[in-house]
Structure 1
C-alpha cells in the first residue's frame, strides 16, 4: 500500500463535487481564452490547428500521422520538416521527412540541438516534441524532460518571433497526439499479448492442473488399501497377543491415520487453489477486460464459508490466535445465494488473510492478553430497500483502529493505513474485495468496535 501522504496532486481532483469540477474547468477555459488572445494567431493559423486536430483523428497509421504533422508547416510557411522520435532515454530515431529525399542521420543522440529547448542552428529550427506528463507512466521509459522527440524545420531564417511561437504551440499539440498514439499502439500490443497468454494459460496451466485430481484419486485409493491392509495386520497381531507387536501395530495405524489427515489437508488446499486459478484466469475476464461473474445457486455456508474457515483454522492455531464462529450464528444454517463461488471465496480468503496478518493482542477478563478472530453472518432486512434483504458476512479481529480519513478509504487501490504500513502487503486485496462485492450488487464496510476491526460485506439475499 502507498503512503497516504504521498499522493499525486491530481488525486485531489477525484474528491471534488460536480459543481467544483465544473467551476475548475470553466476557470481553465477562461485562462485559455486569455492565452490565445495573447498569442494573437492569425485566422489562418487558428484554422490550421483545427485542421490538424481533425486530420490527426481521421488518418490511420503512424506514417499518415507524420505526413499530417509535416503538412501544416509546409502549407502555412513553406517549411520542410524532419521528425525524430525518442526510442530510449538517450537516442532519437529518424521517423519521417517531408521531402522525398531525406539526407538526415537515421539516429542522433541527445545533444546541444536535440534536447528539451527550442534551438536554432543555421537554417534548422529544433523544437522538442513534448508529451502529456499525466501519461508518462504508460510509456516503456520515463522521457527526459517530458520530451518524446524533436521536430526539425527549415529554413528558419527570417521567421518572425510570433511565427516561432505558433510553431512551438503547434508542436506541443503534435506531442500530445503522438503520445496518445504511442499509448494506443502499446495497448493494442498489450491486448494481443493477453489474448495469446489466455490461450497459453488454458493449455499450460488449467488443463495440466486437472490431471492432479486424477493423481489425488489414485493416491486416495492407495491410502484406502493401506487402511485395509493395516486393519488386517492389526487383527493378526491381536490374535498373537504379543504386546510388542500390538504396540507396533497401533503405531502403524497412527502413521496411516496421519498420512490420511495430511492427504485431506493437501487435497483441501488443492481444491481451493484450483478454484482460485480457474476463477481468476477465466478466459472471459481477459476478453472483456473486467471480472465476468459465473453466478450459480449455492449454499453459502457449505460451499464458501466452511471450506475457507477450514483452510485457515490451523494457520490461526499456529499463530496462537483464537478463531471462532460468532455465538449468534448457527453452524447448520442453510443460506442459499446466487453468486460466483470462486470470486466470493477469494473475497473471504482476502479478509481472513488480513486478519491473520494484522490481529493484535487485547485485554480480556482478568487482564489477560488474547488475540481473537471471529466470523459470522446475519440476514439484514430491507438492506437494499423495502423487502430487499441482504446477507452480511463479517470478519472481526482484535486490534487498534486503522488510521483512516473515512471508512471506505481502506478499500481504495493501493491504500495502506499509516499504522500498518510496516507490515507486508500491497494494498490490493481489499480493493479486490470491493470490486467483486460491488459486481454482485453488494456493499463493503469497515468499522472498529469493542476493540475489534470489523470488515464486512453484504450481498443481496432472496428468501426461498
Structure 2
C-alpha cells in the first residue's frame, strides 16, 4: 500500500467513532509503519533534508508563484533537473502553471493523453509525474478531479535516472500534491469570504433598505383605515337620524367591513414587524464578517417584547390545527421581567420551539373519554442557577405527545439529528441546533425531557439586567 492510500485510510470517516485511546494507538502504529517505510526507501540524508526544507519553505513563503518556485527548486538542487508544472483547470484541461527556467517555451494548455495521465510516464528525456491531491477534500474543489489528479509535474532530463532517484521524486510530488490541494482550498475559501462580504453589502442595499419602505406604506394604509372609520362613523350618524331598516343594516355592514379591514391590517403589520426583525437579525452584517452568530444585547421586557409577539404570530395557526395554546398558570403577562438579551435571536429561538410544537403535537386523552392537543409555555426565574448570586430565567414550550426516542436528551440539539419516531415528518434537524447555538452564545443551556404534559423543550439564560 502506498503512502497516499495509507493517509486515506487514516482520514476515513469511520475513524471519527474511535475512542481517544484507540485513536492514539492507531496513530502510533502508523508512525512506526512510516519509520519502516522510510527505512525501506533508503533515502540519502540530503534527500530527507530536502523534504524537510520543502515543508518549511512552503509554509514560510506566501503566494502561489513562490510555492511553485519552491516545488521546482528541490529537483533542481538535488538532481539538476528543470521542471514544468501543469495544473488541472477543469476535468479535461491541464494549464501551464510555472517553469523553472526564466523563458518557458512549453504549450500553455494540454489535454489528457498517454503522457498527461494518472501514471508516472516517461516521454523522451521527460518524466511526467501526476500531482495527486487528498481525496478526503475533493468535495471542496470546484470540480471532482479525475483519478484524484490535480496536475502534472514534468522534469527533465531524466534519461538514465536510477530507480532510487525516481522513487524519491514520486514521493516528493505526492507531498507537493497535498500542499497544493490545501492551497487551492485556502484560495477558494478566501474567494468565498470575499463573495460573502460582497453579498452582505448587496443584502443591505437590495433587501434590508427596501424592506424599510414597507413601514412607510403601512403608515399610509393606517391613515387610510382611520379615514375609513371616520367616514363610516359619519355615515352611521346620518343613518341613525331616520333611515330605513335596510339602510341601517347596510350601515352596520359597512362598519363591520371597516373593522375587519383594520383587524387584517393589524395581523399583517404584526407579521411584518416580526419578519423584519428576523430578517435584520439573521442577515446582520457581523455574522458574515466574523463567521459566527454575533449577539447584540439590549434591555427588554421578556413578556411584551419577546414572548407575546411570537405567540401572536402562532395563535391563529394553532387554532387552525385545533391545538390549545396555554400560558401556564404561574406566569402572568402583566408581570414585568426585564433582562438583557439579543431580542431578535431569542425571539427566533422561541419561534423554532413553537414551530416544532405546531408540527409534532399529538392528541392525548383528555380524561373525559376524549382527546386533545395542547401546547403550554411559560417562564420562571431560577435563583442561583449559574452559581451563588447568579440567577437564570427558564423559558419552556411543552407539547402533548409520545416521548422522543433518544439515547441522550441532548442528542435532539445536534445538527441534522431526527428522533426515530418523528423522522417520517418533514424537517431538516437544523432548528434545535440553531436554538442551542444561540442559547449557548448567551451563556445559557438547553434541555429536553418528557413530562406528564408531553415533550418539554426549555432553555435557561443568565438573568442579566441593565
1:16-165 matched pairs, under 5 angstroms: 16-17=19-20, 21-165=23-167
Matched position secondary structure for 1:436? helix
Question: 1:337 is paired with a residue of what secondary structure?
Answer: strand
Q: Report SS of the residue matched to 2:241.
A: helix
Which is worse superposed, 246-255 or 31-40?
31-40
> How many residues are aligned here?
456
Shift of 1:377: 1.2
Q: What is the rounded CA distance, in whole Å, between the counterparts of 1:393 and 1:31 in structure 2?
A: 55
Cα 1:364–1:204 shift into 2, 3 Å: same
Give the RMSD, CA atoms, in angstroms: 2.2
Distance 1:391 1:53, change over 3 A: same
Larger RCO, structure (CA 8 Å, separation 6 or more)? 1
| Structure 2 counterpart SS, 1:391 | strand
Partner of 2:178 in structure 1? 176
- Closer, same or farther in 2 for the Cα pair 1:144/1:372, shift >3 Å? farther
Unmatched tracts of structure 2, length 5 or more: 1-10
Distance 1:422 1:162 in 2: 60
Secondary structure of the residue aligned to 2:87 is strand
SS in 2 for 1:366: coil
The 3 A distance-change label for structure 1 pair 11 and 231 is: farther
Q: For 2:381, which of 379, 382, 399 is the aligned residue?
A: 379
8 Å CA contact retained: 1:389, 1:460: yes
Cα distance in structure 2, aligned partners of 1:10 and 1:449: 37
Pick one of 220, 223, 226 that aligns with 1:218: 220
CA contact (8 A) 1:400 1:451 kept: no
Change (3 A) 1:366 1:111: farther
**Counterpart for residue 427 of structure 1:** 429
Residue in 1 that maps onto 2:276? 274
- Matched residues in 1 for 2:70 and 2:198: separation? 34
- Compute the TM-score of the two structures, normalised by the length of structure 1: 0.92
Secondary structure of the corresponding residue to residue 38 of structure 2: helix
Aligned position for 1:250: 252
Equivalent residue, structure 2, for 1:13: 16
Q: Deviations over 1:109-161 (max 9, x none)?
A: 23343333333343332222122233222211222332211212233332333
Per the alignment, do residues 417 and 90 of structure 1 end up closer, same or farther by CA in structure 2, a change over 3 Å counting?
Answer: farther
**Equivalent residue runs for 1:188-337 within 5 Å:** 188-337=190-339
1:77-121 alpha-carbon deviations (Å, 9 max, x no partner):
222222111112222222122233434332222334333333334
- The secondary structure found in structure 1 opposite 2:155 is strand
Give the Cα–Cα distance (whole angstroms) in 2 for the partners of residues 20 and 381 of structure 1: 43
Matched with 1:357 is 359
Aligned equivalents of 2:307 and 2:340: distance in 1? 15
Helix, strand or coil at the partner of 1:171: helix
Greater CA deviation, 36-45 or 260-269? 36-45
